[in-house]
Structure 1
Amino acid sequence: MADAGDSEVGLALSLLQGLFYPVTYAQQLGFSILRSWQDRLFQRKEHLQRIYKRVQSTLRGSVDDIGWLQRVPEFPPVEERTERFVQLLGLVSNGIHKLPNSFVYLLIPGLFSNHSPLYFVDTKKHFSKLGLTCHIAKIHSEASVETNALVLKNYIEELYWGCGKKVLLLGHSKGGVDAAAAISKYWTDLKEKVAGLVVIQSPYGGSPIASDILREGQIADTETRRVMELLICKIIKGDIRSLDDLTYDKRKDFLAKHPLPLGFPTVSFHTEVSIAPEVLSTMSYIAHAELPWLPLPTIDGVDLQEPVSAKKLNVIAPLAAAMALSSFHLELRYREKSDGLVVRKDAEIPGSIVVRPDRKLDHAWMVYSQSRKDIKCSDASQMCEALLTLLLEVGQESYNLEESQSSMETHSKEAST
């Protein structure tokens, strides 16, 4: 009887389980669907957050990085001497030249200089006419900053040992960054061989153009980097690090490890470009094309062929318009003045003498002459001469200060004894 009762109870439980099985199955299915939807919603939320961060990073761009050098309390302040530079430039324009022949003057070109045959050529000719020893550094401008720093270090040592004179450096754009890197990284080897540095329109703190192009975590960052790698590495045969080294992140890392020596004579020169409508029609000479000599036929027994020298044709491009549009973009987006590529705040080396001229000059002005020249304005060669003259004045002041401090220390030691 007991077995029969247990059997009936078991049967009843089985029947109940069978009756509730659809309910249990539906409950489990519901929980499974709910968990699946929760996972999908979480993934979608993460995806939307990533998109939001990319959009935010793209929209903010370099707004937090521009001018960062001026916000670091450990860096020494700059000193403006624009007025003195203008005075020296006036002397140079009037034929009064003060640069001595006791130095070697080394000009360091900037990015893509290997594709710019006229880069610093007129400046070197101008210096040679003054009887000065002047060289244009033969570097691969599309190489990384550290690569060019080593090349320049060796170049400076060769000039020093070959001429027996200290070297004064003048770098334009990335050339100024490369020159500063050579001095800071190899200061122990170069401190007795270099006398000073002038940087012209150099992105010492970094460039918003380079940073905005190569910044990770923004919209289409991978695709943009691939395009730039194709352009720089495959077409120009350069190194993507040449552009990457000019981003704010890379400049912050480099300067944290290799700052310029304190007290080293340095002059920083930067400008802003005019965005006036007439600039859009200004053309710049970027190269010379040599036309071949074509033989002339003989007509009626008269030989028309005479020795004719090959003619040179100026190759022009609207670089001024491109710089103006780029500057307008930077001013519209960041409310910052620039020369088209470098923001003024990022072109000042901490502790340097700063020249901030009122004259509107774009980033390519130091490289290429324009089709519309103002004979009343000084050219690039005269500007370089005036800047180097100012640098020598700064170096002399620094030398006098060191001599004065050394003399005071000597007198104090003698007094104590």
Structure 2
Amino acid sequence: MDNILTKLFRLTNYISDRFLQFIEDLVLREIARYTESLGVTPVAIPSVHGSTRSTSLQPSQIGGENHGIFEKRASNNSKELLVDTSSIVLYAISISEAVPSFFLKGLTLLLYGLIYAWSLGMAFWRYPLSCIKCAQVHVHRIKSRMVKTLRGSSDDIGWLQHAPGMPLVQDGTSRFLELLSDIRNGKHSLPSSFVYLLIPGLFSNHGPLYFVATKRFFSKMGLACHIAKVQSEASVEQNALELKLYIEEIYWGSSRPVMLLGHSKGGIDAAAALSMYWSDLKDKVAGLALVQSPYGGSPIASDILREGQIADKETRRILELIICKTIKGDMRALEDLTYVKRKEFIMKHKLPLDIPLISFHSEASIAPGVLATMTQIADAELPWLPLRKLWIVESDSFLESRHQVPVMVPISAAMAVCALHLRLRYGEKSDGLVTCRDAEVPGSVVVRPKMKLDHAWMVYSSKKRSPSEHDACEMCEALLTLLVELGNTKREVD
């Protein structure tokens, strides 16, 4: 509306100017014609637009009767007639200018009044309209956050199974169970021509018993077994480089290829090392087994770190305080397990398919007995946060000696709660942290045991284990034995 009134005002001014100029030109043209017929000298007459025009005066525009009078006076006295004619014409011009000028000033005031009234009206409505618009934006933002929070990882779980160009998996569960049964009966066929490298997962630096029983089990059989010394709270790319150097050091020192078995994030770190440095590790690595690894991503990590959901910034600050400040880790260690980061990495770095691959996943028990009792206890060491007292002076050696605090964690109960949460929210089977579908690596041989095993079972043996139950050490041996068979089969085919 403001633009319409402004344009109307400009158009009115333009029309008035053109109209005044037309009248002025018409009058002056007639005066010049009459004075030329009388043979008098032109005089300067002020223009409507402020300029001065030199022209001859002509009384013919004053009226028919006056015209005869002017002609008579011109025959007697030309000079007097010219003065009278100039006065009358100037008076006529002033009257012709005054009428439209007064009319235009009134119209201008009316237009200005309309513009001012419209501005006041719009100013009166603009503030509540802006408040309503801000409220709508705020409500839309809250609604979007709520939808994103409630939706969670529903669209991401199992995305690898639908991604185009991904190779199919093979089921190796039956052969795995056969090998596990042979091992339980005392038949061990794992060769000593390889070096077996166990790669721990996230927060393993704070678990003093992580993979210790498995390494001891392999060492008793005379096998060369190592636990990779990597920073468990580091990013995937950083650990991939460290593993690459670690594998090369083992190979140069023993002249034997390395069999890799990675648990949880350790499997992802090992797969990243093969994807990024395959040209250097091609002749040094004989196979890889990913045990309960969130190769496609973890819904737990994604739900915690998802941007745009409710309280996302507050949650991130708390995690940064725990991971970065308390345990001196890297926030990327948890970020790399989200679906967004895993999609980016997998699409950028392809896992080589000419190496034997095994992906193992299981389902945690959510029975009430597991939730209520502590069937499996994990030993952990958490950083000590000393609180100095102002009146007590403590030496640095005393503080250093107590920088780690041993903690007993009811890991089975915690995993059961997480598995129950994933089952109720997404309807997905999981070991507590990783869903079964996200643990299957494309192009690998998948092992899907029907035993109820949570995420920590493979690295922390139960202290109340029944003699008839399988042990985590035996499960790792069966997986590596199957990996060796896959490597032999592949070499025979090639």
Report the alpha carbon displacement of residue 367 of structure 1 after superposing the two structures with TM.
2.1
Cα displacement string for residues 299-355 of structure 1 (whole angstroms, at most 9, x for unaligned residues): xxxxxxxxxxxxxxx963221111111111111111100000000000011010000
Report the alpha carbon displacement of residue 215 of structure 1 after superposing the two structures with TM.
1.0
2:222 is the alignment partner of 1:131: yes
Distance 1:190 1:278, change over 3 A: same
Look up the match of 1:306.
none
* Counterpart selection for 2:477 from 368, 373, 385: 385
2:177 is the alignment partner of 1:95: no
2:372 is the alignment partner of 1:372: no
* Counterpart selection for 2:324 from 233, 241, 248: 233
How many residues align? The count is 378
* Counterpart selection for 2:309 from 215, 218, 229: 218
Report the alpha carbon displacement of residue 42 of structure 1 after superposing the two structures with TM.
3.3
Select the structure with the greater relative contact order (CA < 8 A; seq sep ≥ 6). 1
Q: Rg: which structure is higher?
A: 2
For the Cα contact (< 8 Å) 2:290–2:358, is it kept in 1? yes
For the Cα contact (< 8 Å) 1:263–1:351, is it kept in 2? no
Cα displacement string for residues 215-248 of structure 1 (whole angstroms, at most 9, x for unaligned residues): 1111111111111111110111100000000111
Report the alpha carbon displacement of residue 5 of structure 1 after superposing the two structures with TM.
9.8
2:118 is the alignment partner of 1:27: yes
SS across alignment from 2:377: strand
* AA partner of residue 79 (structure 1): Q
Partners of 2:202 and 2:288 in 1: how far apart?
A: 18
Look up the match of 2:140.
49
Aligned pairs for 1:170-185 within 5 A = 170-185=261-276
Distance 1:18 1:319, change over 3 A: same
Which is worse superposed, 224-233 or 185-194? Answer: 224-233
Look up the match of 1:413.
none
2:167 is the alignment partner of 1:76: yes
Which is worse superposed, 110-119 or 4-13? Answer: 4-13
Report the alpha carbon displacement of residue 29 of structure 1 after superposing the two structures with TM.
0.9
For the Cα contact (< 8 Å) 2:377–2:410, is it kept in 1? no
Report the alpha carbon displacement of residue 88 of structure 1 after superposing the two structures with TM.
0.4
Which is worse superposed, 39-48 or 208-217? Answer: 39-48
Partners of 2:417 and 2:367 in 1: how far apart?
A: 10
* AA partner of residue 361 (structure 2): H
* AA partner of residue 309 (structure 2): Q
Aligned pairs for 1:334-413 within 5 A = 334-402=426-494
Partners of 1:76 and 1:6 in 2: how far apart?
A: 92
Report the alpha carbon displacement of residue 53 of structure 1 after superposing the two structures with TM.
1.7
Look up the match of 1:282.
374
Look up the match of 2:408.
316
2:377 is the alignment partner of 1:263: no
Unaligned runs of 5+ in 1: 290-313, 403-417
For the Cα contact (< 8 Å) 1:124–1:135, is it kept in 2? yes
Partners of 2:199 and 2:445 in 1: how far apart?
A: 19
2:301 is the alignment partner of 1:193: no
Look up the match of 1:251.
342
SS across alignment from 1:272: coil
Partners of 2:246 and 2:121 in 1: how far apart?
A: 75
Partners of 1:322 and 1:251 in 2: how far apart?
A: 25
For the Cα contact (< 8 Å) 1:282–1:372, is it kept in 2? no
* AA partner of residue 197 (structure 1): L
Partners of 1:101 and 1:266 in 2: how far apart?
A: 20
Report the alpha carbon displacement of residue 283 of structure 1 after superposing the two structures with TM.
4.0
Partners of 1:75 and 1:8 in 2: how far apart?
A: 88
* AA partner of residue 146 (structure 1): E
Report the alpha carbon displacement of residue 26 of structure 1 after superposing the two structures with TM.
3.4
* AA partner of residue 100 (structure 1): P
For the Cα contact (< 8 Å) 2:377–2:412, is it kept in 1? no
Which is worse superposed, 177-186 or 216-225? Answer: 216-225
Partners of 1:164 and 1:321 in 2: how far apart?
A: 44
Which is worse superposed, 67-76 or 22-31? Answer: 22-31
For the Cα contact (< 8 Å) 1:283–1:316, is it kept in 2? no
Cα displacement string for residues 353-407 of structure 1 (whole angstroms, at most 9, x for unaligned residues): 00000000111112222343122111110000000001111111111111xxxxx
Look up the match of 1:303.
none
Report the alpha carbon displacement of residue 10 of structure 1 after superposing the two structures with TM.
7.0
Report the alpha carbon displacement of residue 34 of structure 1 after superposing the two structures with TM.
3.0
Report the alpha carbon displacement of residue 48 of structure 1 after superposing the two structures with TM.
2.5
Which is worse superposed, 369-378 or 132-141? Answer: 369-378
Unaligned runs of 5+ in 2: 1-90, 382-405
Report the alpha carbon displacement of residue 83 of structure 1 after superposing the two structures with TM.
1.0
Partners of 1:378 and 1:203 in 2: how far apart?
A: 24
Report the alpha carbon displacement of residue 15 of structure 1 after superposing the two structures with TM.
7.8
Aligned-residue CA RMSD (Å): 2.2
* AA partner of residue 436 (structure 2): R
Aligned pairs for 1:288-327 within 5 A = 316-327=408-419
* AA partner of residue 238 (structure 2): T
SS across alignment from 2:465: coil
Report the alpha carbon displacement of residue 145 of structure 1 after superposing the two structures with TM.
0.2
2:158 is the alignment partner of 1:64: no
Look up the match of 1:410.
none
Percentage of matched positions with identical amino acids? 59
* AA partner of residue 83 (structure 1): S
Look up the match of 1:296.
none
For the Cα contact (< 8 Å) 1:282–1:370, is it kept in 2? no
Report the alpha carbon displacement of residue 152 of structure 1 after superposing the two structures with TM.
0.3
Report the alpha carbon displacement of residue 19 of structure 1 after superposing the two structures with TM.
8.6
Partners of 1:377 and 1:200 in 2: how far apart?
A: 19
Partners of 1:315 and 1:15 in 2: how far apart?
A: 91
Distance 1:39 1:199, change over 3 A: same
Distance 1:33 1:107, change over 3 A: same
Report the alpha carbon displacement of residue 174 of structure 1 after superposing the two structures with TM.
0.2
SS across alignment from 2:491: helix
Distance 1:122 1:371, change over 3 A: closer
